[in-house]
Structures are given as C-alpha cells and as structure tokens.
Amino acid sequence: MKKVAVVGAGKVGTAMALLLQAKGFEICGIAGRNPTTVQETAKRLGTCGTLVPAQITKIADLIFITTPDRLIEEVCLQIRQDNGFGPGQVVVHMSGAMPAGVLGPAKEAGAYVLSVHPLQSFADVEQAIRNLPGSFFALEGDREALPVGMEIVKAVGGEYFLLETKHKPMYHMGAAVASNFLVAVLHWAIKIYQQLGMTQKEAINALWPLVNGSLKNISALGPVQALTGPIARGDLSTLKKHLQALGDYQPENEVLYKVLGLYTARIAKEKGSIDDTAYNRMIQLFKGGIN
C-alpha cells in the first residue's frame, strides 16, 4: 500500500486525498499553511496535519504538491531544504500550465517527478470529489513515474493520456479555451438577455436548453457539423441586424462579435454550407472596423 502525503489542503489536494483513501491508499499526512484548514482536513481524513510539509513527505512514497501553481516550485524547494525528499519517491503536482520540471528540487534528491493534470474545473472540495472521477488526466514527466500516475488516475476513476513536456503550454491553452472562453461567451449571452429585462436566472433558464443542445450536437457530430445559425446559412441581412443591435446596445462588444464571426465563418466554409461568394461577403462585413 502506498503512503501518500498531500501538501496543499485546498480543493484538489483534499479531494484527491479523500478519493485515494477510499481506494485503500494510506494518507500519512496533510500539510498546509492555515492551521485551522489543515486541522479540519486532517480530522476529516483521520490523519496528521502539519504546517511543516517535510515532516510528512519524508515518510511518504507518493507526494502531492497541490498548492497554487505559483508556489509549487518554492514549496518543493523548501521541502528539499528540510530534507523531506528521498530516492525512489514519486512527487506529483496537478497543474496544467507547469511542467513536472518545476519539481526539480525533488529530482535532485533522487525522487521521480510527474504532473497529473485533471482536465476539469473545481469550484470547491465537494465538487472536486464528485467530478474528479470520470475526468481525463494529462500525465507528463519522468518515464519511471508514469505507472504511478496511471495508478493514481485509475484509483480516482479517471482516464489518462500522455503529454510531451514541450506541448504543455498548447495543451493548457486548449483547456482554457474550452472552459474559460465558454464561460466568457455565455456570460456575454446572459448579459444580452439581462439587457432585454430578464433576471440572470431567467436568462440562464432560457438559454440552457439551447446551450445543452449545442453541446450534445458537438459531442455527437463534431463541431463543424454542429454549426447552425446565420453564419452557417450565409445570411448576411441577419448578421447586419446583429451588428446594428450591437451598435445600439453594446458597442463595446462589436469587435468581439466580428472576431468570433470571422472564426465561425471559417467553420461554415469547412462545413460546406456556404459558397465562396457568401463566405467572402461575410469576411468583408466582419473585417470592417477591425485593424
């Protein structure tokens, strides 16, 4: 049985500890910087809590550093300086943006390092416990540590794929586009309906079946075939009405509409639902006013 130490008692660290414990991993301790959070989490796990990570990492086989990204390297270095790492240990962080290489101080002590990034978004611990199972995880780092990464993912009920270190920024950008830009675009749509007098809740309720339908279509047909609407039809008069309404109500978002319009027109062309003339007219319309 693997002994696991978790440094960073936040959403992901706590959820991982609870899920792994439920699968028989021994959680030998949890470390953090807020005494109250650490003690509460340690109590929940029935393990020891500490403000000095090296105290628990030195007795572990598998160490998670689940602090905010900007602190991973610094915390890792501190543990190394406190002699908290040893040969053969596997040290993991769960950042999508950082490579496993930021765990360099652990490697210097003979440990293997790995990044195990869940392709998911977690607002709190309970949501993370619910959503980690079934998520895809990107594994990147030392070849020797990959079997442990696979074991972790299997234990929490996820699926994995391997990632080359040089691809990590592109990979993370893909995740940010899918998750963060989706939020931004829906924020915009909800604001438009609020401007028509709906409450936020009414706007979300009204848009939700449409959003859900689009997501289902993407999943079933792929994004190109899922594209419907005026751009897919090459309906220039409707697009002009949209731009007129934007000018009246949200002039600040005109450029955003046009930039997204340009991208969407390329999808329509790929779909083959518009001819070259319709495509070129739309490109002309959307490029107007964009430098």
Ligand X SMILES: NC(=O)c1ccc[n+]([C@@H]2O[C@H](COP(=O)([O-])OP(=O)(O)OC[C@H]3O[C@@H](n4cnc5c(N)ncnc54)[C@H](OP(=O)(O)O)[C@@H]3O)[C@@H](O)[C@H]2O)c1
Q: What is the torsional sign of CA 88, 91, 96, 101?
A: negative
Q: Please give the residue ranges that form the binding site for ligand X (CB under 6 A).
A: 7-13, 31-34, 37, 66-69, 71, 75, 93-96, 117-118, 120-122
Residue 252 C-beta: closest distance to ligand X, Å:
29
- Please, what is the minimum distance in Å from the beta carbon of residue 167 to ligand X? 17
Buried b (16+ CB within 10 A) or exposed e, 190-225: bebbeeeebeeeebeeebeeeeeeeeeeeeeeeebe
Between 116 and 274, CB nearer to ligand X: 116
The sheet carrying 62-65 orders its strands as: 49-50, 26-31, 3-7, 62-65, 90-93, 112-118, 136-141, 159-162
Residue nearest to ligand X (CB): 10
Residue pair 254/289 in contact by the 8 Å Cβ criterion = yes
CB of 34 to ligand X, least distance (A): 3
- Nearest distance, CB of residue 113 and ligand X, angstroms: 14
| β-pair partners for 93 | 65, 115
Contacts of 182 (CB under 8 A, 6+ apart): none
DSSP 197-238: T--HHHHHHHHHHHHHHHHHHHHHH-HHHH--SHHHHT-HHH
Q: Measured from the CB atom, is 38 or 226 closer to ligand X?
A: 38
Smallest gap, in angstroms, from Cβ of residue 13 to ligand X? 6
Is the Cβ of residue 81 or residue 284 nearer to ligand X in the bound state?
81
Nearer residue to ligand X within complex by CB, 132 or 227: 132
To ligand X, the closest distance from the beta carbon of 92 in angstroms equals 10
Cβ 49 to ligand X, closest distance in Å?
Answer: 11
Contacts of 167 (CB under 8 A, 6+ apart): none
- Provide the 10 A C-beta neighbour count for residue 111: 25
Q: Which residue has the tokens 């439920």?
A: 22
Please say which residue, 141 or 261, places its beta carbon nearer to ligand X: 141
Residue number, 98 or 227, with CB nearest to ligand X:
98
Closest of 138, 137, 80 to residue 111, by C-alpha: 80
Which one, 15 or 190, has the nearer CB to ligand X? 15
